[in-house]
Amino acid sequence: MAAAALAVALTAFGLVPAAPPAAAATVPVGAGSYSDTRPTGTSGPTNNTGSPVTPKVTPAAAGRPVPTNDWWSSLAFQRYGDNPYSTPMYGHPLSYRAVAGGLEIGYPTTPAVVGDGRQYEFAHQRDLTLGLTGLNSPDARADSWSDWTVTPYWSDGTRTLRTTIGHGSPFVYAQGSGGSARITTAGTPTVFADQGNVLGITVAGHHYALFAPTGTDWTVADTTISAALGGRDYFSVAVLPSPDALATYRKYAFSFVTGSRVDWSTAGGTVRATYTLTTEAKEGTERGTLQALYRHQWLHTTDPLTPYAYVSPRGTMKVREGTAFTTTQKTAPVLPALPRTGDVDTAALRGRLNEAAYAADPFSGAVDTYWTGKALGRLAQLVPLADQIGETATRDRLLALLKGRLQDWFTAGGANEFSYDRTWKTLTGYPASYGSDTELNDHHFHYGYYVYAAAIVAQYDPGWAADSAWGGMVRTLVRDTANPSRTDGAFPFLRGFDVYAGHSWASGHQGFAAGNNQESSSESTNLSAALVLWGSATGDTGLRDLGSYLLATEGEAIAQYWFDADGQVFPASFGHDTVGMVWGSGAAYATWWTANPEEIHGINVLPVTGGSLHLGGRKEAIRRNIAEMERENGGPAAEWRDILWEFQSLADPGAAKARWDAGQAAYTPEAGESKAHTQHWITVLNALGAPDPSVTGDLPTTAVFSRNGTRTYAAHNHGATARTVTFSDGRTLTVPPRSTATATGSGTDPDPDPDPDPGPGPSGGHTYHLRSGGVLTTSADGTAGSDTVPSADGANHDGTPYEPLVYEARNVTGRLRAGGATAFRLPVDAGTAVGLGQQVRVSYDLTGDGAFDRTETYHYFATDPVPGWEEYHQGRGPKATTGTLGDLRGGTVRLEVWSAIGNADSRLRTGTDASVLVIPYD
């Protein structure tokens, strides 16, 4: 890209650099600049032999910014010189691999546990290859793409083939010329339906439907299936959840997907996202389609779903009929820092702040983008703490350090700079690290620290953050990593964030048999939280709300796919409660650099900031995480103890504080941490209680904490005038300009484990408390006790009550609450027994006539073999429902609890406010 064209792109984004000469090597942006040629002796994207590579795209896509760091990036980034096609690409439920003859398609349904039990994978295995007769292409290229779909392209000079594939799509849509449609299967197929142009086959236990144009016919010859296209150029293939789904899938066979798009909004403490497919009718008028939703999506949608489902490395995917669906989540809590409390030892904190601010080398020798970023993040965490205790000189010293180092990087021509690659349309910092240059890895990890540090500076010096000053360079880093624009010709839309998968990918080339990967999910959310803070500090509500969308979405993905918070994702054969890395094909209890359990667990926690509070929404998952780390480690943390103490404090602040008190004198902080920050973090949470993400404010920079039934509401107002914040439980808080305010009030203690978006909680709806003897009562007074849940006796009773505990309330009258839903929170304990799972069914007899008009059966809860109460709640998701709700007129409400699996008894807590059923009635 010529410098003049780049200036046009910058202007379109709201940035106006000085017009450079046509051949300039430096592009001014406000007070800063970057180069448009790499520094001498450095490298850009290369293949595995070190040779430069260019995007592998068709002429139709030439010049478009390629979304590297995606699930399909190997199609465009030829990392391995001997593979001009692609490595396996995991769309889910299908997997794909481009080869000379077309597109391999697989449906991995059986996990393998490999690497000494440290990794599970649903590896790509070809069921069939979609192509054209005679096709033998020298390569495969990306022809077009949208938010989560891509169109690979093949040509051998005589034949051309395009296919459209995507996340959640059970269909592969094909358009070809120069040959007949050809499907080759990995083994001899079984034909279960032959309807001329529609063929149903089973290969390796998986069911597929093949759709050729109307009036044509499929011919089966051993493992080759072909159909002349009758002068047309389209056909499609679908993986079926079962053979009897063929009629439903046939309806949408020729409604070809042409694009995908997500739109988001944030208001009133709620993030909404709508995922939409555009389609084209190749035959007839049908424009609908089918989409398989990931767990993090279907848990948060009220849109109706079909009974169909698929297996995936992310747990069950559920199918929706239609071109769009909407998810609704609570915003994740974000603060510039935890609020001030009187419990902090200010003298000790003052000494530790001074030690960090006036160190001989505050940046610890960092020279590359990643380690400089870590140092920037460490110092930025301390600025609000110094401000809280009136240490303005230390605060200003820290701000000066941040500004100086940021400005150094934000100015081209020195020992470090950012350089724009015209070919790959990316901004790379030099000195680079961890393949951020040659492989385009990790830009969101590295640059998130810079944006976070800049947001803290902007909080205290808005002038520094103006676009005409240094804010322009911050925005340029944002455009490289999290560009909200789809029309920006200089950078791709949301480079690393996969909107449908719900999380980011780290590898720029995706050149692995296991697909793409991401290790440090928390460094990814560090960028999202930084966007919330930067957007709030600069008045850019668009970037602020983008950060809220990314953080809420990835926060749920992390809970499900890294921490398996609901026990519904990891295969039963995988013996870990958490993973260090997520891959396209599965996940691994590992890191790239060490097998040390402390770092495997800690890498998805650091950096600990006011954007980490969302982790506190799943407290039982944190407890399991810490317990597993200590089992694997042979004892408590010794190296990254500060990170893991801070993590523990999000669930059990008192326990974390005890460990801090005992060990604060004799440890070395993790490279991105400091003793000052760890002291403040642990002390404040011990005073205020753990985060309570079930309550949100109508300002993104809010958080709520709860201790012993008392909530503390906190909010930061970046604006120049006072702001009244309203919380979802009705509490209001007036926050002075450019400050953090807190207030306290009564509320339900979230412990042991609230869902981050559980629907109606125990403080809403009509609440019943469990009492031994099968009683549901509205009285909150009771004596703690427990009932025994009988064993499943080694059988599987998933979905069918077996010797259930039954609790009933009779003669109930109430008006159904619009939009309401059933909720429950039930402490259960399996003791030291393994392999147990408790299950719940809630039934409503609306008139008390003995016939239940509505039943709701929820997925069972897999308890752990560690003594202590765990919380089973409606966030596990419904397994089956029958009937409809209506007003109760002298009706009966029944709660049944039984063992779905297992060979031992368990316990259900009764008699306390923690054991409740909430029905959606007034």
> Would you please indicate which residues are annotated as catalytic (active-site) residues?
442, 519, 523
Q: Yes or no: say if 585 and 121 are a contact pair by the CB < 8 Å rule.
A: yes
Cα 229 from Cα 525, distance rounded (Å): 48
Dihedral angle computed from the Cα positions of residues 789, 795, 800 and 804, in that order, rounded to the nearest 10 degrees: -20
Whether the CA torsion 337, 342, 345, 351 is positive or negative: it is: positive
Q: Which two structure tokens, joined as six digits, stand for 855?
A: 């039943």
Report which of 133, 138, 172 is spatially closest to residue 154, judged by C-alpha positions.
138
Q: What angle do CA 12, 18, 22 make, to 5 degrees?
A: 90
> Exposed, middle or buried by CB within 10 Å (0-12, 13-18, 19+), for 469?
middle
Q: How many residues does the chain have?
A: 922
Q: Which two structure tokens, joined as six digits, stand for 308?
A: 């169909």
Q: Yes or no: say if 101 and 131 are a contact pair by the CB < 8 Å rule.
A: yes
Distance (Å) of CA 312 to CA 232, 306, 496 = 34, 17, 22
DSSP 519: S
Report which of 771, 836, 780 is spatially closest to residue 808, judged by C-alpha positions.
771
State the first-to-last Cα distance of the chain, in angstroms, to the nearest integer: 63
Q: Yes or no: say if 29 and 15 are a contact pair by the CB < 8 Å rule.
A: yes
- Strands of 270-281's sheet in order across: 255-267, 270-281, 324-330
Question: Which stretches of 590-691 are assigned E, i.e. beta strand?
Answer: 690-691
Q: Which two structure tokens, joined as six digits, stand for 488?
A: 């920006």
* Cα Rg, the chain, nearest whole Å: 28
Dihedral angle computed from the Cα positions of residues 459, 463, 469 and 475, in that order, rounded to the nearest 10 degrees: 30
Report which of 298, 289, 176 is spatially closest to residue 226, judged by C-alpha positions.
176
DSSP 73: G
Cα 849 from Cα 852, distance rounded (Å): 8
